[in-house]
Amino acid sequence: EGVSVKMFLRGRPITMYVPSGLGPLRAELPPERLQLDWVYGYRGRDSRSNLHVLGSGELVYFIACVVVLLQLPARRQRHYLRHSDCVRCLAVHPDRLRVATGQAAGVDKDGKPLQPIVHIWDSATLQTLQQIGLGSFERGVGSLAFSTADQGAFLCVVDDSNEHMMSVWDCARGTKQAEVKSTNESVLTVEFNPRDSSSIVSSGKSHVFFWTWSGGALTKKHGIFGKYKKPKFIQCFLFDAAGALLTGDSEGNILTWTRTPGKGGKVPPEMYQIGQQTRAHEGSVFALCRRRDGTVLSGGGKDRRLLSWSPSLELLHEVELPESFGAVRTIAEGPGEELLVGTTRNALLRGTLGSGFTPIVQGHTDEVWGLATHPNCCRFLTCGHDRQLCLWDGREHALAWSLALEETQGDSAHGPHVPPMSLCPRVPVPLSPCLSVSRCPCPAVPVSPCLSMSRCPCPTVPVSLRWLVLDTGTRQLLAGGSDGNEQLSVVRFSPDGTFLAIGSHDNFIYIYSVAEGGRKFSRFGRCTGHSSFITHLDWSKDGRFIMSNSGDYEILYWDVAGGCKLLRNRFESRDREWASYTCVLGFHVFGSQSRVRRARQPRDQRALHARRRAPGVAGREGHQRLPVARPAR
Q: Which amino acid is at 352?
A: T
Q: Are residues 473 and 613 in the same domain?
A: yes
Cα 623–chain centre separation: 17
Q: Are residues 415 and 502 in the same domain?
A: yes
Domain membership of residue 200 (yes or no) is: no
From the first residue on, what is the mean pLDDT of each consecutive set of 10 residues in the chain (633 residues)?
A: 81 89 76 92 93 97 97 95 96 98 90 94 98 96 97 97 98 97 97 96 97 95 94 96 94 92 57 92 97 96 96 96 95 96 97 95 92 88 90 94 66 27 26 66 56 45 67 86 88 93 95 91 96 96 97 96 95 93 89 44 34 35 40 45
The reported pLDDT for the residue numbered 260 is 75
Q: Are residues 357 and 438 in the same domain?
A: no
Phi-psi region of 171 (alpha: psi -120 to 50; beta: other; left: phi over 0): alpha
Domain membership of residue 121 (yes or no) is: no
Contacts of 150 (CB under 8 A, 6+ apart): 197
Of 304, 327, 362, which one is at a domain's C-terminal end? 362
Domain membership of residue 444 (yes or no) is: yes
* DSSP of 427-494: SS--SPPEEEEE----TTS----EEEE---S-TT-S----EEEEETTTTEEEEEE--SSS-EEEEEE-
On whether the CB atoms of residues 260 and 270 are closer than 8 A, the answer is yes
Domain membership of residue 495 (yes or no) is: yes
* DSSP of 97-142: SEEEEEEB-EE-TTS-EE---EEEEETTT--EEEEE-TTT-SSBEE
Q: Are residues 304 and 382 in the same domain?
A: no
Residue 313: CATH number of its domain: 2.120.10.30
Q: Are residues 618 and 567 in the same domain?
A: yes
- Cα gap 177→159, rounded to integer Å: 16
Q: Are residues 462 and 591 in the same domain?
A: yes
Q: Could you give phi then psi for residue 571, rounded to 5 degrees?
A: -60, -35
Domain membership of residue 218 (yes or no) is: no
On whether the CB atoms of residues 145 and 155 are closer than 8 A, the answer is yes
Long-range contacts formed by 580-583: CB under 8 A, 24+ apart:
580/492, 580/538, 580/539, 581/538, 582/536, 582/537, 582/538, 582/611, 582/612, 583/536, 583/537, 583/538, 583/547, 583/548, 583/549, 583/555
Q: Which amino acid is at 505?
A: H
Q: Are residues 385 and 312 in the same domain?
A: no
Q: Are residues 342 and 466 in the same domain?
A: no
The reported pLDDT for the residue numbered 444 is 52
Q: Are residues 371 and 344 in the same domain?
A: no
Residue 506: CATH number of its domain: 2.130.10.10
Number of structural domains in the chain: 2
Domain enclosing residue 409, as ranges: 367-622
Domain membership of residue 510 (yes or no) is: yes
Of 362, 380, 396, which one is at a domain's C-terminal end? 362
Domain membership of residue 329 (yes or no) is: yes
Q: Are residues 480 and 557 in the same domain?
A: yes
Q: Are residues 318 and 392 in the same domain?
A: no
- Cα gap 393→400, rounded to integer Å: 6
Domain membership of residue 310 (yes or no) is: yes
Residue 254 sits at the vertex; the CA angle it makes with 248 and 256, to the nearest 5 degrees, is 110
DSSP-derived 3-state class of residue 622 = helix
- Cα gap 437→433, rounded to integer Å: 12
Q: Are residues 351 and 408 in the same domain?
A: no
Contacts of 184 (CB under 8 A, 6+ apart): 162, 163, 164
Of 362, 396, 416, which one is at a domain's C-terminal end? 362
The reported pLDDT for the residue numbered 450 is 60
pTM for the model stands at 0.84
